[in-house]
């Protein structure tokens, strides 16, 4: 296939993001919630979609809709070309060596499960060890725990410091000749810590273990170069980077992928089948069973093009500026508000998890919604991390390309009101439900 990407990978326009122009691409930001214009600070759970992505999906369904790899008629050929181009665009986005290393999945969770049930079942056995971290999202923790149960392997955990940084000294101690897998979040979805990926990979490879990176929170927010990072597998979700829900990517090293068989079998995974044998398809098709989410893949590719035009370095710098502004304004809240995680914006992504002393996190979230501010509350699918911090949940504000310092100003002013009214708010009944993301 010939590469058709329209923008240089991760470069885009020079200089700061033009947020005012960007916001014009997101009509939902003009919604009025409870009499106030929406402030959307729930981007770590899912981002909004620009009109370019929605239009790309609509164009496919209105003008090109057909199944892929199934026919020689014009519509099928067009759909197949668009679907295959999506692999190329996404390969370009993460600087993969080739488009066929890119496996389209439904989300990060499926990508990590794919690794666990293909590579893991083949290579991890009784007595082997899998190294995880206390800051892992459940989607990177539970598949490996299930694998360990199935094969009799042992899970080892790496702790964090009190300010939310990974204990690299402990990682070096825990990793041993028995270690087969080191699976880790590139960025925490709670404390925002951006881990030293190259350092983790070096430690894993020192004992010939594979390094599996959960990129759900990193890839949408910072330049990602799989060649430079050195990971063996990288999984991320489309809906956290302006793409449709139900889309994602698993990238893997070709030499590893070629030795694996699919864990979901069926249509499009084979070259030939007899009553006694099967010949599996080439990469990546052997791992993309059945009719795929064609429109979703096209929408995700459009999202990647959008971000590449902006420049991922610019996306990262914008969020660092928002973090600096947040930490400065939060000083006005004094001891009434506790922020979790590192304060150094160089090692933190655009996630701010906090609690208001004396108030349940759900109470704070509901109060913010009354002012049109959307945040996430709960355990954020990272319960062990919250227990490590000595809490049951947090309020999480998370930023993206369309958020502004002015929104943060309004956010802080509302928090001041909540703090003033906390004695009254504390009397409100709270249903202690778990929210993920």
User: By 3-state DSSP, what share of the chain in percent is helix, strand and coil, each rounded to 5?
Assistant: 40, 15, 40
Give me the helices (H) in 103-221, please. Answer: 108-115, 121-123, 138-151, 168-174, 197-205
Do the Cβ atoms of 133 and 193 come closer than 8 Å?
no
Give the phi and the psi of residue 37 in degrees, each rounded to 5: -70, 135
Per-residue buried b or exposed e for 23-56, using 16+ beta carbons within 10 Å of the residue's own CB? bebbeebeeeeeeeebbbbbbbbbbbbbeebeeb
Query: Which of 58-73 are b and which e, b meaning 16 or more Cβ less than 10 Å from the residue's Cβ?
Result: eebeeebebbbbeeee
Cα torsion 50, 92, 42, 359 to 10°: value is -170
Local structure of residue 355 (DSSP, 8 states): E
Q: Is 381 a catalytic residue?
A: yes
List CB contacts of 267: < 8 A, sequence separation 6 or more: 289, 290, 291
CA-to-CA distance for 237 and 110, rounded, in angstroms? 10
The helix or strand, by DSSP H or E, that contains position 57, with its residue range, turns out to be helix 51-59
The single residue of 381, 397, 408, 415 carrying the catalytic annotation is 381
Q: Supply φ then ψ for residue 245, to 5 degrees.
A: -65, 160
Active-site annotation, residues: 381
């Amino acid at each position: 296939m010939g590469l058709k990407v329209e923008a240089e990978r991760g470069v885009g326009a020079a200089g700061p993001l033009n947020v005012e122009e960007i916001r014009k691409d997101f009509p939902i930001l003009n919604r009025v919630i409870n009499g106030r214009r929406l402030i959307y600070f729930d981007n770590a759970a899912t981002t909004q979609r620009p009109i370019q992505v929605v239009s790309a999906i609509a164009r496919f369904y209105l003008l090109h809709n057909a199944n892929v790899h199934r026919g020689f008629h014009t519509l099928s050929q067009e759909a197949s070309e668009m679907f295959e181009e999506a692999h190329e665009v996404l390969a370009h986005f993460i600087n993969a060596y080739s488009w066929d290393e890119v496996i389209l999945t439904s989300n990060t969770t499926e990508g990590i499960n794919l690794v666990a049930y293909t590579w893991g079942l083949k290579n991890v056995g009784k007595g082997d060890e899998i190294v995880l971290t206390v800051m892992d999202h459940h989607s990177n923790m539970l598949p490996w725990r299930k694998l360990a149960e199935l094969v009799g392997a042992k899970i080892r955990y790496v702790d964090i410091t009190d300010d939310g940084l990974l204990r690299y000294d402990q990682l070096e101690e825990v990793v041993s000749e028995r270690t087969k897998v080191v699976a880790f979040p590139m960025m925490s979805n709670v404390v925002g810590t951006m881990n030293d990926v190259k350092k983790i990979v070096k430690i894993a490879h020192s004992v010939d273990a594979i390094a599996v990176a959960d990129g759900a929170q990193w890839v949408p927010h910072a330049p990602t170069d799989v060649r430079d990072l050195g990971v063996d597998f990288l999984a991320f979700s489309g809906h956290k980077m302006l793409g449709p829900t139900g889309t994602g990517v698993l990238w893997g090293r070709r030499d590893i992928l070629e030795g694996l068989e699919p864990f979901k079998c069926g249509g499009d995974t084979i070259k030939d089948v007899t009553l006694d044998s099967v010949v599996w398809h080439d990469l990546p098709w052997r791992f993309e069973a059945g009719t795929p989410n064609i429109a979703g893949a096209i929408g995700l590719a459009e999202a990647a093009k959008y971000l590449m035009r902006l420049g991922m370095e610019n996306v990262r710098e914008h969020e660092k500026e928002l973090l600096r502004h947040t930490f400065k304004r939060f000083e006005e809240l004094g001891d009434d508000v506790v922020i979790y995680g590192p304060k150094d914006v160089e090692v933190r992504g655009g996630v701010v998890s906090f609690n208001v002393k004396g108030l349940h996190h759900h109470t704070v979230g509901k109060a913010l919604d009354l002012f049109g501010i959307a945040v996430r509350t709960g355990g954020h699918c990272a319960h062990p991390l919250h227990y490590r911090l000595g809490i049951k949940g947090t309020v999480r504000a998370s930023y993206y390309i369309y958020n502004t310092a002015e929104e943060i100003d309004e956010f802080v002013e509302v928090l001041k009101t909540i703090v003033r009214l906390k004695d009254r708010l504390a009397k409100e009944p709270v249903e202690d439900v778990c929210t993920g993301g």
